Structure 1
Amino acid sequence: MTLKNKKLLYIFLYLLSFGQVVGTLILINKIEFIPMINNVILGLSYLVFFALQIFSIYKILNFKFNRYLKVLVGLILIGLCLISMACILMVFAFAGKDNRQVTYDDEKFYILDVGWLDPVYEVYRKNFITMDKLSEDEIKDTFADLNKIENEDTREILKTLIYGREGLDGPKAEEENKNQDLEEAKENEGVVKENKEEVLKNFEVSDAIKIENSDYGLLEVDRAGARSRWFLVKISGDDMEFISELEETSPEASGRMDEDGTIHLDFKDINNNKTTYISKDKGRTFEKIK
């Protein structure tokens, strides 16, 4: 290759460093790559720009021309390189994508913040290394049950997209919140019940006070001075199942079930004050009657 051709090649490589940056920006704007691929492409483009700049500037400054002119050209090229790298880094930072993922019904989705000052979110469905943007109706249809989403921030973003900012306190959102609270309550209730089943393992059926005309019993699981802690249990052979915990703490207790299936519990404290409770839902809740 002749010297003239080499000079043209190095000048071409210098210009190519800028061209590939423009090409990269056009590519990622035309094709919605998933965040990881998108950000890798931007990173590689930045490294290629830096490498081509260093290589081509070095070769250009080795051209044979006036020494003072060479210094001037060198300062200009290096200055342009530094300014360009700073500008490209800023542009690439805005072109980068947050890797906020959510899996729903075995499908992977990405939630991207495309706003500048205020957050503006868009939802995309993963399609191998690319992704497809969901419309407002598709978001509503896809995420029909927000309780399936464990991450609270993600759930709130989707709730805003589905109901709108003004609709966050509307009827649908209120119903969604109630459903969510019920789910959490059920989970908590399950944990509490499991713990109380563990307490029952320390007692025998013979420790329970039998409730007449039923297979229920009152079990004193703890006592501190004149205060007792009572469990209502269901007795089946040698096993006891936790039903509920009584709010009453009097140390003496007895009980019976009437013909209608209502449970009556009578308590007496150390001062002989009597208290009676009834339950019409098989012992899950009790009402104090006197």
Structure 2
Amino acid sequence: MNQPSTDAAARPTGPTGPAEPILQAVGLVKRYGSVTALAGADLELYPGEILAVIGDNGAGKSSLIKALSGAVVPDAGQILVEGRPVRLPTPIAAREAGIETVHQSLAVSPSLDIATNLFLGRELRRPGVLGSVFRMLDRARMRSEAARHLSELGITTIQNPNQAVETLSGGQRQAVAVARAAAFGNKVVIMDEPTAALGVRESRAVLDLILKVRDSGLPVILISHNMPHVFEVADRVHVQRLGRRIATLAPSGCSMSDAVAVMTGALDPAELPEEALAPGAL
């Protein structure tokens, strides 16, 4: 079973020395009947980084991300947030732990406006008795806060928070979902195939948005099949194979073909040069 890296000298460093993982999975196991989706999976996400998760079909990356986002409960293993063990039985529990997820399906309501989508399930109430007794929504504050969040992420293609999501392009809808995650995720943002089904220009805008989320202080887990996108934005690449982490690669020290070869089992990570391996590699 892969074990989290314990070599302090190998860990990413911060202003005060080696950084500790903000999110960590240790020995996660998940079985569906006779099928083992996770066979002792490990993962470490450090502050201020984009960690890409790649893997072939059936590698267990979806189950790993579902466990981290509260969509499934692992049969064994541990999840830690800032070094403290947490239990994430539901996506709401994951949100309460500071983990926000942008799913490939986006989970936006097309008929509602942008501001309402940003605050869906977390609506702001009017102050005083109007909010506490009559449960009236503070729509003006939600519009103002939505405009602020979009502005902070540099999303300039959306000018009106009152605009219905169904009138937006695919890239703009993705931007709304990312803005919602960045607005409420105070520790980690997980993005599942954010550029899938997008054109070149819209994919470029979403990649820039991912970098801005990272630069705002939120570490990002990026799940993607698009190797050029992975190698463009990721600080480290977690390779999942046969239900566990097989390697963690440094994009600056290896090629996309190396990553694909490791992912498919055609190349043993031990054959790679030292500079191709990142902390948590083996």
TM-score (norm: length of structure 1): 0.20
Normalized per residue, the structure richer in helix is 1
Larger Rg: 1
